[in-house]
């Protein structure tokens, strides 16, 4: 084990430790800043995101669908070519983006006020 391979057992745990330490440090610093300003940190818990699961679900479904279509195209339409890696990345990105766009449209539809919400009684 010579060369840069010897640095991996040293660098990876160090980076992991520093990442966890940084996250905890910034979390504690944020709480202390809230206390200094007279705010109660217990009142400001993480905001709920009701459409977060929908967004992740549609993103992963889109990425999976893109991967499947890329595989089918690779095996059928582009069977003679040997370099087809780009189609995998491209279709995963396109269908993942379509999944996020569908999530946006569904969320927009659900949060928009309806005409029935503004009925004026005479």
Where residue 38 falls (left for φ over 0; alpha for ψ -120 to 50; beta otherwise) is left
Residue 77 has what pLDDT? 87
On whether both 56 and 104 belong to a single domain, the answer is yes
Confidence (pLDDT) at 120: 65
Residue 15 lies in a domain: yes
Question: How confident is the model at residue 1, as a pLDDT?
Answer: 57
Residue 23 is predicted with a pLDDT of 96
Residues of the chain under the 70 pLDDT cut:
1, 46-48, 116-122
Residue 57 and residue 19 share a domain? no
CA 74, 77, 82, 83 dihedral sign is negative
CA distance 60 to 116: 35
Any domain includes 115: no
State the number of CA atoms in the 13 A half-sphere of 58 facing the CB.
16
Report how far residue 32's alpha carbon sits from residue 45's, in angstroms, rounded to the nearest whole number.
15
Range of the domain at 90: 52-109
Position 84 scores a pLDDT of: 80
User: Which pLDDT value is given to residue 83?
Assistant: 78
* Angle, CA 20 vertex, CA 15 and CA 21 arms, to 5°: 95
Q: What is the pLDDT of residue 20?
A: 97
Asked if 39 and 86 sit in the same domain, the reply is: no
pTM of this prediction? 0.58
Residue 25 lies in a domain: yes
Q: What is the pLDDT of residue 47?
A: 67
């Amino acid at each position: 084990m010579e060369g840069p391979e010897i640095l991996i057992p040293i660098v990876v745990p160090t980076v992991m430790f520093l990442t966890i330490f940084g996250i905890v440090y910034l979390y504690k610093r944020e709480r202390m800043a809230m206390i200094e300003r007279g705010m109660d940190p217990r009142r400001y818990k993480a905001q709920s995101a009701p459409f977060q699961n929908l967004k992740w679900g549609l993103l992963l479904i889109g990425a999976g669908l893109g991967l499947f279509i890329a595989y089918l195209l690779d095996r059928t339409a582009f069977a003679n070519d040997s370099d087809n890696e780009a189609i995998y990345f491209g279709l995963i990105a396109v269908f993942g983006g379509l999944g996020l766009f569908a999530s946006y449209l569904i969320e927009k539809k659900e949060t928009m006020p309806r005409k029935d919400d503004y009925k004026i009684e005479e």
